[in-house]
Chains A and B, each alone.
Chain A
């Protein structure tokens, strides 16, 4: 079921994947505009990666919005296009179908992050950035704690993959609840804007908002400048993401378990 759903997704949305890929490529070339750690004189590719991937626009708006654009109609497409009877006649339960969708979310998030990293690294190479230094303050603070810079990068990417999957699960539930994938996608755009507003105006509120967890470099102790963010740790964000995922799954399960699986009237 999972293999089927993942394959079905890629075969169905290949045009949208190309558009998203093109947008990622464009933004990877423009990524130097989002490098906001200006005190670094000669940033390396890794400094560039962590600085831009943690930029408020990229992490709170661009990546989540682009990713959810891919998956917002993951469930509703089957129902609206009358494809669901084909699948459900072969599925053991509605929940197994729904969990296959959640697995697809994970695979798409994984691919999204890998492609984005690949493009960012290529852009860095084209710009002639070096590979061998880790000057960014995040790496410096991690070094003081005895953490390897690559472990830190892996953690950031893991947060992205999990964070995007969780955002996808939320959109999945919202789309089932509203029976409208555009409104569900709008929900994530709104959350991104709220998080960005809170980041700029109210940091105490910021840590409570979904998507904030994707802004990796401002987690304590990697960022020690803002005392209001002392409680915004990796553990905090990890727990936050797990709880958000569980809630989205539970609400999605409750909805999909009973709803009328046809939106064709």
Chain B
């Protein structure tokens, strides 16, 4: 795949002699959000560490933006990655802004203005002088998200990103994710929250005993479809999943249904091919 940003090709990894990841294959393309679920200790975080170069695979290959992540002479690390793996740890005596500025000084890719904007984006006040040790868990998580996104990388690795976030925080994260994906970044998201995974991810994998199993190959979206007649609704009910009549719109029967189509045109084409006459198709119907 030409627009592939992250690839695990038959990757295996042992820790302490015990196989943690076994022949995992996964590719993530530009603009994609891939979710990984699994029980505690199943190897989810190890998979993320392999992507960031914290671990190197024993077998197989990890490619980030086309480059193989391998020890080489200098212990190569992938570039363009924004990562939040496990609970973020900052310098407790510094403010959030100073912590981020310190990290930003490593690559000098973002100036103070950019760091301030990122903090505002995650809902933190950059002028708050309170040290991080006095931050709540939710604030620390927001700061962790800010450090991952502030340099605008192309690849994002998030491990339980909405831990300790309130509803507003989750909405903020959803907005950031949507904005980054629109800019053709890719995201790998590990979470134990199935609802979160269903909401954010285009594809979902489960890690079980170190092996990756595909749970879903596309994002299930909700669609609202207005059809010409009840006869068309009957045809659609045989063809689509979870079809529910929601009433009439301008006299035409309207239903909601769920499916993995990418665009409205795609669903329109699919239904038209089946001889169903349509008035309107809309994504994300409420």
A202 CB–B CB distance under 8 Å: no
CB distance from B151 to the nearest CB of A (A): 7
Query: Is B85's CB under 8 angstroms from A92's CB?
Result: no
Query: Is A82's CB under 8 angstroms from B106's CB?
Result: no
Query: Is A88's CB under 8 angstroms from B74's CB?
Result: no
Query: Is A93's CB under 8 angstroms from B103's CB?
Result: no
Query: Is A90's CB under 8 angstroms from B151's CB?
Result: yes
Also in contact, A8 and B102, with CB within 8 A (given A93-B77, A257-B71, A258-B75): yes
Interface of B is mostly: loop
B54 CB–A CB distance under 8 Å: yes
State A14–B73 Cα separation when bound (angstroms). Answer: 34
CB distance from B56 to the nearest CB of A (A): 7
- Chain A contacts of B103 at CB under 8 A? 4, 86-87, 90
Also in contact, A8 and B91, with CB within 8 A (given A260-B55, A262-B49): yes
For chain A, residues 34 to 90, give those with C-beta under 8 angstroms from any C-beta of chain B. 81-90
State A119–B94 Cα separation when bound (angstroms). Answer: 30
State A108–B72 Cα separation when bound (angstroms). Answer: 30
Of residues B15, B85, B87, which shows the largest number of chain A Cβ atoms within 10 Å of its Cβ?
B85
Seen from chain B, the residues whose Cβ lies within 8 Å of a Cβ on chain A are 15, 49, 52-56, 71-77, 79, 81-89, 91, 93-94, 102-103, 105-107, 147-148, 151, 153
A121 CB–B CB distance under 8 Å: no
Select one of B74, B85, B86 contacting A257, CB under 8 A: B74
Which residue of chain B has the shortest Cβ distance to A93 in the bound complex?
B74
Select one of B54, B82, B151 contacting A262, CB under 8 A: B54
Interface of A is mostly: helix
What are 22 A-B contacts defined by CB distance under 8 Å? A3-B105, A4-B105, A11-B102, A83-B89, A85-B85, A88-B53, A89-B52, A89-B77, A89-B81, A90-B103, A90-B106, A90-B151, A91-B77, A92-B77, A93-B75, A94-B75, A94-B77, A95-B74, A258-B71, A261-B54, A262-B54, A264-B86
State A86–B82 Cα separation when bound (angstroms). Answer: 8
Select one of A82, A90, A91 contacting B85, CB under 8 A: A82
Select one of B49, B56, B107 contacting A258, CB under 8 A: B56
A96 CB–B CB distance under 8 Å: yes
State A73–B107 Cα separation when bound (angstroms). Answer: 24
Seen from chain A, the residues whose Cβ lies within 8 Å of a Cβ on chain B are 1, 3-4, 7-8, 11-12, 14, 81-96, 98, 256-258, 260-262, 264
CB distance from B261 to the nearest CB of A (A): 35
Of residues B73, B76, B89, which shows the largest number of chain A Cβ atoms within 10 Å of its Cβ?
B89
- Chain A contacts of B52 at CB under 8 A? 85, 88-89
Which residue of chain B has the shortest Cβ distance to A98 in the bound complex?
B75
- Chain B contacts of A257 at CB under 8 A? 71, 73-75
CB distance from B97 to the nearest CB of A (A): 14
Q: A11-B102, A86-B147 are in contact. List 4 more A-B contacts (CB 8 A).
A: A86-B103, A94-B53, A94-B77, A95-B75
Query: Is B106's CB under 8 angstroms from A91's CB?
Result: yes
